[in-house]
């Protein structure tokens, strides 16, 4: 007889973490939305593309932070018969969309920078410097709040990357303002704006990569599926491990399923408990579904990952 056992002890720790995430996201959303208005007005008044580029990015930040808050709320909704994991993947979808908006805003910055290189407008450097300096304070405060909230959630990491990109944008705008004030060289504004665009584009890469990996149910970063399988196959009483799958439900929530064959004289329940302890202790995988059978009763699925004990 086959023996399977799912472990579902993650709920409380994830809900507690999401509470901290929600509070941090709410505070930073309020800061970002408020200052975005100031920066848009400042960019229009001074004629600075660097400020408008940073304001445009802050607009995407306000959207992204709002999206992240909605995703946190959805992720806390209970599981249903039709959605056995609830809406936990909503956070990953939000992270993917946030990465896409980073790419979109960087493209806009590149286009505007190119256009302004041909005919750079007059810039009010003093006001530009003041607005950018205040923006730097707001963005650094937001980055600190999000980084201290825990940071395990890819959803929060997506919001944090937006805010860090804003920090870089504020620094760039300050640098452009200083150059304009010191030399009157108006090309500093579009050139530094293009550099901001490159930094924003670079910050989107990891976010897009990690969220896509989760949605495609790839092995979580930091976990080697081959080593996991070999460790399980080397455990006492285990003859073979196959149909091994290791994936991520949502950030910080790895899961594993496998078919395990043990010796004819082995206690299937005891071997399952041993494997659960091994996976939790050595790999941090606490959500497991293990089907345990006696060797000879079942065969491996074609093309599945298969690991045999070296002690046979």
Residue-by-residue DSSP string for the chain: --B--B----HHHHHHHHHHHHHHHHHHHHHHHHHHHHHHHHHHHHT-HHHHHHHHHHHHHHHHHHHHHHHHHHHTSPP-SS-TTTTTTHHHHHHHHHHHHHHHHHHHHHHHHHHHHHSPPP--HHHHHHHHHHHHHHHHHHHHHHHTT----HHHHHHHHHHHHHHHHHHHHHHHHHHHHHH--TTHHHHHHHHHHHHHHHHHHHHHHHHHHHHTTPPPTT--HHHHHHHHHTSTTEEEEEEEEEEEEETTEEEEEEEEEE-TTS-HHHHHHHHHHHHHHHH---EEEEEEEETTS--PPTT--EEE-TT-
Q: Decide if 1 is inside a domain.
A: no
Q: How far apart are CA 140 and CA 163, in angstroms?
A: 8
For residue 282, give the CATH number of its domain.
Answer: 3.30.70.1350
Same domain, yes or no: 22 and 156: yes
Same domain, yes or no: 205 and 267: no
Same domain, yes or no: 101 and 67: yes
pLDDT at residue 64 tops 70: yes
Find the mean pLDDT for residues 267-290.
Answer: 94
Q: Decide if 220 is inside a domain.
A: no
Q: Flag whether the pTM goes above 0.75.
A: no
Q: What's the length of the chain?
A: 312
Same domain, yes or no: 138 and 28: yes
High-pLDDT (> 70) share of the chain, %:
85
pLDDT at residue 300 tops 90: no
Q: How far is CA 195 from CA 44, 239, 252, 275, 302, in A?
A: 21, 57, 33, 51, 51
pLDDT at residue 198 tops 90: no
CA 119 from chain centre, in angstroms, equals 39
Same domain, yes or no: 156 and 270: no
Same domain, yes or no: 234 and 119: no
Pairing label, strands 287-294, 306-308: unpaired
Q: Decide if 184 is inside a domain.
A: yes
Q: Which residue has the higher pLDDT, 15 or 63?
A: 63
Task: Give the residue from 215, 233, 265 where a domain finishes.
Answer: 215
Q: For residue 14, which of 311, 267, 296, 286 has the smallest C-alpha distance?
A: 286
Task: Give the residue from 162, 190, 215 where a domain finishes.
Answer: 215
Give the structural domain span for 61.
Answer: 11-215
Same domain, yes or no: 48 and 117: yes
**Which tokens hold the place of 183?**
């030399």
Which residue in the block uniquely carries the two structure tokens 């802050």?
58
Find the mean pLDDT for residues 42-56.
Answer: 70
Find the mean pLDDT for residues 55-84.
Answer: 78
Q: Decide if 26 is inside a domain.
A: yes
For residue 184, give the CATH number of its domain.
Answer: 1.20.1510.10
Same domain, yes or no: 233 and 200: no
**Which tokens hold the place of 51?**
């400020």
pLDDT at residue 232 tops 90: yes
Q: For residue 40, which of 142, 131, 113 has the smallest C-alpha distance?
A: 131
How many other CB atoms sit within 10 Å of the CB of residue 277? Answer: 11
Same domain, yes or no: 197 and 252: no
pLDDT at residue 10 tops 50: no
pLDDT at residue 21 tops 80: no
pLDDT at residue 196 tops 70: yes
Which residue in the block uniquely carries the two structure tokens 């410097």?
129
Same domain, yes or no: 230 and 117: no
Same domain, yes or no: 285 and 171: no
**Which tokens hold the place of 178?**
């200083």
Q: What is the pLDDT of residue 1?
A: 45
Task: Give the residue from 195, 215, 235 where a domain finishes.
Answer: 215
């Amino acid at each position: 007889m086959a023996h399977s056992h799912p472990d579902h002890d993650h709920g409380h720790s994830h809900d507690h973490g999401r509470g901290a995430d929600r509070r941090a996201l709410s505070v930073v959303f309020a800061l970002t939305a408020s200052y975005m208005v100031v920066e848009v007005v400042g960019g229009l008044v001074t004629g600075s593309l660097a400020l408008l580029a940073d304001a445009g990015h802050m607009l995407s930040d306000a959207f992204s932070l709002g999206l992240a808050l909605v995703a946190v709320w959805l992720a806390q909704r209970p599981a249903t018969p039709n959605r056995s994991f609830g809406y936990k993947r909503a956070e990953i979808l939000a992270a993917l969309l946030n990465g896409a908006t980073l790419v979109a805003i960087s493209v806009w910055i590149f286009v505007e920078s190119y256009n302004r290189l041909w005919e750079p407008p007059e810039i009010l450097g003093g006001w530009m410097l003041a607005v950018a300096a205040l923006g730097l304070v707001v963005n650094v405060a937001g980055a600190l709040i999000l980084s201290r909230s825990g940071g395990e959630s890819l959803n929060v990491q997506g919001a944090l990357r937006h805010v860090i990109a804003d920090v870089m944008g504020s620094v760039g705008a300050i640098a452009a303002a200083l150059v304009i004030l010191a030399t009157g060289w108006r090309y500093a504004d579009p050139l530094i704006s293009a550099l901001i665009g490159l930094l924003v584009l670079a910050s989107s890469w990891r976010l897009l990569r990690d969220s896509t990996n989760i949605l495609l149910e790839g092995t979580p970063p930091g976990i080697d599926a081959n080593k996991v399988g070999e460790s399980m196959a080397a455990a006492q009483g285990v003859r073979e491990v196959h149909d091994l799958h290791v994936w991520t439900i949502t950030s910080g929530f790895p899961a594993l399923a496998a078919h395990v064959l043990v010796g004819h004289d082995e206690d299937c329940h005891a071997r399952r408990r041993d494997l659960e302890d091994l996976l939790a202790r050595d790999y941090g995988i606490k959500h497991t579904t293990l089907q345990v059978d006696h060797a000879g009763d079942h065969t491996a699925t074609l093309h599945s990952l298969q690991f045999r004990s070296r002690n046979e």
